[in-house]
Amino acid sequence: MMNSADCYDNIFTGENAMARCSIFFSMNLLICLFFITFSILPEAALAHAVMVKSMPEKDSTISKSPKQVDVWFNEHVRSAFKSLAVMNSAGKRVDNKDIEQEMLDPSHIYISIPQLPPDTYTVRYRVISADTHAVSGKFDFTVAESD
Protein backbone atom coordinates (compact mmCIF):
# COMPACT_ATOMS: atom_id res chain seq x y z
CA MET A 1 0.00 0.00 0.00
CA MET A 2 1.26 3.44 -0.88
CA ASN A 3 1.59 6.12 1.76
CA SER A 4 2.28 9.83 1.43
CA ALA A 5 6.05 9.40 1.94
CA ASP A 6 6.16 7.08 -1.08
CA CYS A 7 4.44 9.74 -3.16
CA TYR A 8 6.97 12.39 -2.18
CA ASP A 9 9.91 10.01 -2.74
CA ASN A 10 8.61 8.96 -6.16
CA ILE A 11 7.41 12.33 -7.34
CA PHE A 12 10.03 12.54 -10.08
CA THR A 13 10.02 8.88 -11.19
CA GLY A 14 7.49 9.16 -14.02
CA GLU A 15 3.88 9.57 -15.02
CA ASN A 16 2.65 6.28 -13.49
CA ALA A 17 3.98 7.25 -10.08
CA MET A 18 2.34 10.66 -10.40
CA ALA A 19 -1.00 9.08 -11.30
CA ARG A 20 -0.78 6.71 -8.34
CA CYS A 21 0.05 9.59 -5.99
CA SER A 22 -2.78 11.68 -7.38
CA ILE A 23 -5.28 8.84 -6.86
CA PHE A 24 -3.93 8.22 -3.34
CA PHE A 25 -4.36 11.88 -2.35
CA SER A 26 -7.81 12.07 -3.97
CA MET A 27 -9.04 9.01 -2.10
CA ASN A 28 -7.73 10.35 1.22
CA LEU A 29 -9.40 13.68 0.54
CA LEU A 30 -12.75 12.01 -0.25
CA ILE A 31 -12.58 9.91 2.91
CA CYS A 32 -11.80 12.97 5.03
CA LEU A 33 -14.63 14.96 3.44
CA PHE A 34 -17.04 12.08 4.02
CA PHE A 35 -16.24 11.90 7.75
CA ILE A 36 -16.29 15.67 8.18
CA THR A 37 -19.65 15.95 6.42
CA PHE A 38 -21.35 13.27 8.51
CA SER A 39 -19.81 14.44 11.77
CA ILE A 40 -21.28 17.93 11.42
CA LEU A 41 -24.74 16.96 10.13
CA PRO A 42 -27.40 17.23 12.82
CA GLU A 43 -28.79 13.95 14.05
CA ALA A 44 -32.29 15.01 13.03
CA ALA A 45 -31.26 15.00 9.39
CA LEU A 46 -30.49 11.30 9.66
CA ALA A 47 -33.49 10.32 11.79
CA HIS A 48 -36.76 8.79 10.64
CA ALA A 49 -40.16 10.43 10.94
CA VAL A 50 -41.84 9.97 14.32
CA MET A 51 -45.51 10.50 15.12
CA VAL A 52 -45.70 13.49 17.48
CA LYS A 53 -49.44 14.17 17.70
CA SER A 54 -52.78 12.66 16.83
CA MET A 55 -56.43 13.58 17.03
CA PRO A 56 -58.00 11.74 18.74
CA GLU A 57 -54.99 11.52 21.02
CA LYS A 58 -53.18 8.23 21.53
CA ASP A 59 -54.86 6.06 24.22
CA SER A 60 -57.60 8.66 24.80
CA THR A 61 -61.24 8.05 25.60
CA ILE A 62 -63.67 10.39 23.88
CA SER A 63 -67.40 10.80 24.38
CA LYS A 64 -68.44 11.14 20.74
CA SER A 65 -67.18 9.96 17.39
CA PRO A 66 -64.71 12.26 15.60
CA LYS A 67 -65.27 13.17 11.95
CA GLN A 68 -61.69 12.30 11.01
CA VAL A 69 -58.43 10.95 12.40
CA ASP A 70 -55.37 13.20 12.10
CA VAL A 71 -51.71 12.22 12.52
CA TRP A 72 -48.72 14.60 12.62
CA PHE A 73 -45.05 13.67 12.32
CA ASN A 74 -41.89 15.49 13.40
CA GLU A 75 -40.88 16.03 9.76
CA HIS A 76 -42.44 16.14 6.33
CA VAL A 77 -43.50 12.77 4.98
CA ARG A 78 -43.58 11.90 1.32
CA SER A 79 -46.92 12.06 -0.42
CA ALA A 80 -46.47 8.71 -2.20
CA PHE A 81 -47.05 5.38 -0.49
CA LYS A 82 -48.77 6.71 2.62
CA SER A 83 -51.47 4.71 4.37
CA LEU A 84 -53.76 5.32 7.31
CA ALA A 85 -56.45 2.91 8.49
CA VAL A 86 -58.90 2.84 11.39
CA MET A 87 -59.90 -0.61 12.63
CA ASN A 88 -62.56 -1.56 15.19
CA SER A 89 -61.95 -4.08 17.99
CA ALA A 90 -63.08 -6.92 15.69
CA GLY A 91 -60.36 -5.97 13.19
CA LYS A 92 -62.72 -4.55 10.56
CA ARG A 93 -61.63 -1.42 8.73
CA VAL A 94 -64.11 1.38 9.45
CA ASP A 95 -62.62 4.50 7.81
CA ASN A 96 -63.67 5.96 4.45
CA LYS A 97 -60.37 5.00 2.74
CA ASP A 98 -59.76 8.60 1.68
CA ILE A 99 -56.36 9.44 3.15
CA GLU A 100 -55.18 12.99 2.49
CA GLN A 101 -52.05 14.99 3.22
CA GLU A 102 -52.22 18.62 4.26
CA MET A 103 -50.85 20.75 1.41
CA LEU A 104 -49.42 23.47 3.65
CA ASP A 105 -48.11 21.05 6.27
CA PRO A 106 -46.68 17.85 4.70
CA SER A 107 -46.11 16.38 8.17
CA HIS A 108 -49.91 16.04 8.61
CA ILE A 109 -52.02 13.21 7.19
CA TYR A 110 -55.69 12.50 7.89
CA ILE A 111 -58.60 10.27 6.98
CA SER A 112 -62.35 10.74 7.36
CA ILE A 113 -64.49 8.28 9.29
CA PRO A 114 -68.22 7.68 9.57
CA GLN A 115 -70.10 8.00 12.86
CA LEU A 116 -68.42 5.40 15.09
CA PRO A 117 -70.29 3.41 17.73
CA PRO A 118 -68.74 2.95 21.18
CA ASP A 119 -65.68 0.68 20.84
CA THR A 120 -61.89 0.73 20.99
CA TYR A 121 -60.30 1.60 17.65
CA THR A 122 -56.78 1.06 16.37
CA VAL A 123 -55.22 3.54 13.96
CA ARG A 124 -52.45 2.09 11.79
CA TYR A 125 -50.17 4.28 9.73
CA ARG A 126 -47.32 3.81 7.29
CA VAL A 127 -45.43 6.67 5.65
CA ILE A 128 -42.17 7.28 3.86
CA SER A 129 -40.05 9.75 5.82
CA ALA A 130 -37.97 12.50 4.24
CA ASP A 131 -34.91 10.21 4.36
CA THR A 132 -36.86 7.61 2.26
CA HIS A 133 -37.30 5.08 5.07
CA ALA A 134 -40.68 3.45 5.65
CA VAL A 135 -42.10 4.24 9.08
CA SER A 136 -45.12 2.45 10.51
CA GLY A 137 -46.93 2.38 13.80
CA LYS A 138 -50.28 2.24 15.52
CA PHE A 139 -52.21 3.71 18.41
CA ASP A 140 -55.61 3.20 20.01
CA PHE A 141 -58.46 5.43 21.06
CA THR A 142 -61.83 4.61 22.58
CA VAL A 143 -65.26 6.03 21.84
CA ALA A 144 -67.16 5.71 25.13
CA GLU A 145 -70.89 5.25 25.62
CA SER A 146 -72.49 8.69 25.86
CA ASP A 147 -74.63 9.34 28.96
Of 104, 106, 103, 98, the residue nearest 127 (C-alpha): 106
pLDDT above 50 (res 44): no
pLDDT digits (tens, 9 = 90+) for 54-70: 999 999 999 999 999 99
pLDDT tier at 79 (50, 70, 90 boundaries)?
confident
pLDDT at 48: 85
pLDDT above 60 (res 37): no
* Predicted model pTM: 0.68
Q: What rounded mean pLDDT belongs to the chain?
A: 83
pLDDT digits (tens, 9 = 90+) for 8-21: 455 555 556 555 65
Asked if residue 92 lies in contact with residue 68, where contact means CB atoms within 8 angstroms, the answer is: no
Q: Give residues with Cβ within 8 angstroms of 21, minimum separation 6.
A: 2, 6, 7, 10, 11
pLDDT at 2: 52
CA atoms within 13 A on the CB side of 67: 0
pLDDT above 50 (res 43): no
Please state, in angstroms and rounded to a whole number, the distance separating the CA atoms of residues 125 and 99.
Answer: 10
pLDDT at 130: 85
Of 121, 92, 93, 123, the residue nearest 110 (C-alpha): 123
pLDDT digits (tens, 9 = 90+) for 99-147: 999 999 999 999 999 999 999 999 999 999 988 899 999 999 999 987 6
Which is more confidently placed, 100 or 45? 100
